[in-house]
Amino acid sequence: MSNPLRLPFPRAEDLAFDPELAPLALLEAALAIAVQALIARNPEMLSEHQHLRRAPQVAAALNIVVLYREIHDALVEYRDLLPKEPAPSGTDDIPF
């Protein structure tokens, strides 16, 4: 099962037509690592006890996770709106 909060890394052929995918993939990876580091530093983020999650640092870390999810969703939406196949250039000289 794939992770729903992870975009596939762009392939070379993806970058040839959509070069903006490279920095977007870096952004996604950096944010995913930041979330893991925040959880490591603030394990209370995973607690079911609300009083542990209200500490100012934990609450701020949770806000970052919320923003990460919003950015992730925006990246998925952007990627989904890209053309699936490159548009034909119309300059092919070979008729096959």
pLDDT at 84: 80
Greater confidence (91 vs 39) lies with 39
- What does the alpha-carbon distance between residue 12 and residue 8 come to, in Å, rounded to a whole number? 12
- Cβ count within 10 A of residue 27: 14
Residue 80 has pLDDT above 80, yes or no: yes
Write down the pLDDT at residue 76.
Answer: 92
**So what's the pLDDT on residue 57?**
96
* pLDDT tens profile 30-79: 999 999 999 999 999 999 999 989 999 999 999 999 999 999 999 999 99
| pLDDT at res. 5 | 58
Domain ranges of the chain: 15-81
Answer whether 18's CB lies under 8 Å from 10's CB. yes
